[in-house]
Homo-oligomer: A and B are copies of this chain.
Amino acid sequence: MLCAMDTIDCIKRVRKSALTLSLMSDSQRNSLLEKIKKALDENRFELKSANEKDINSAREKGISDAVLHRLVFDDQKINSCLDSLSSVIKLECPTGKKLAVRELDEGLILEKVSYPLGVIGMVFEARPDAMVQIISLAIKSGNGIILKGGSEAANTNKALRSVIHSALVDDDYILLLESHSDVDQMLKMEGDIDLIIPRGSNKFVKYCMDNTNIPVMGHADGICSIYVSDKADLDLAINVIVDSKIQYPAACNAVETLLINESIAPSFLPVLRDALVSNGVKIHGDEEVCKYIDVIRATDGEYDMEYLALELNIKIVKTLEEAINHIAMHSSHHTDCIISTDREEQLTFFNCVDSADVFANCSTRFADGFRFGLGAEVGISTGKLHARGPVGLEGLTTYKYQLTGTGQVVKDYTGANAKHFTHRELM
């Protein structure tokens, strides 16, 4: 539904309708996804016309190429939405899964079963294809979904919502909000919404956390580092660093800081510099780095910056430990990588770096739900609770403990002649 009327009312209808969705079988939910697929395919013209309006007004406002590129919803993007729907349909159903079955005593069976969270509130950037992906993950996991997309995509999002509604009809479990005041209202409804996922600036994530009692899944900055050990394969290091920086510099999993072991600095830095500069990368270096290569002098504050552009920092460190300490001080706990052929060093790095993704000898750009084999993602969590790193369907579920007895009472399990629990795992 489109929230033209009273927001509170609409959100309460999502809560109610989400229960119906949660009770559906996997094949019922998949048939909803099939209907959405068909409707998108058959209403390309309507979707593209709405998108054209957004594109034109974005151009008039002089919006950057990067944003325009995300905003486009053409046949290619529609096709990739259809592919993505197909792959979500194929994923294993994340709810109703028995996570544990334990006999507590004869005739007293405990089952830990996965369930939908309930209702998710999601704020996302001006990317219409993201809206389709989020709706598909919500339906597959049996959750109601409240969406607020970037305002630049308002026309496309409304058209998408109307096409999806024409396919599903009875779909109050999907709600598209249109204004910031709707978002503020949503943040207040803690009894009706189970999780807020804000994608966007750190500032916006903090705004949500400060203004709601609903749990917020933090999707914050990506300040990612790569440490190059004195035991590194240096050709491999160059390849991985270049990919981590230039393959898509605006992504949160692009590298921002390189930490180079001092003993390889004299030989490695000139080669590294050439590889980066020839790819258009602007380099900031600490005092030591400036001794070997001609770069911009880095200031301390720059180690806390997410450039999101062809720009990075290089710092010399004496040891692996110094690299780990630097990362502890400056990392956003997203993705950090070590380049080293020594397995001991890799494991020390894995154990001591407190980030969602810890990599050895590969590009930081692999930090992604699809590449990790999760099918798709609603975002990347930099928090440690509930879900960490790329968040797929599993992150949209919770569990219940279902205990079925035959009249057992606790009194019999206490005192002098207490019965004993068997605690026998049945799966």
Task: Please give the residue numbers on chain A whose beta carbons come within 8 Å of chain B beta carbons, in ascending order.
Answer: 19, 22-23, 102, 104, 108, 110, 113, 117-118, 194-195, 209, 213, 215, 233, 236, 239-240, 242-244, 247-248, 346, 350-352, 354-363, 365-367, 371-373, 383-386, 388-390, 398-411, 413-414, 421, 423
Contact = CB atoms under 8 A, between A and B. Distances in A.
A400 B355 contact: yes
A336 to B, nearest CB: 10
Nearest 9 A-B pairs (CB), nearest first? A362-B405, A243-B409, A365-B410, A373-B423, A236-B407, A386-B386, A384-B398, A385-B386, A362-B408
A243 B411 contact: yes
Given A361-B407, A388-B398, A104 B356 contact: no
Contacts of A409: 239-240, 242-244, 247, 362-363, 365
A399 to B, nearest CB: 6
A371 B411 CA distance: 12
A409 B339 CA distance: 13
The dominant DSSP class at the A interface is mixed
A152 to B, nearest CB: 25
Given A350-B402, A371-B421, 11 more contacts: A104-B373, A118-B354, A118-B384, A194-B384, A195-B385, A215-B215, A215-B383, A247-B411, A356-B401, A358-B401, A363-B409
Contacts of A247: 409-411, 414
A109 to B, nearest CB: 10
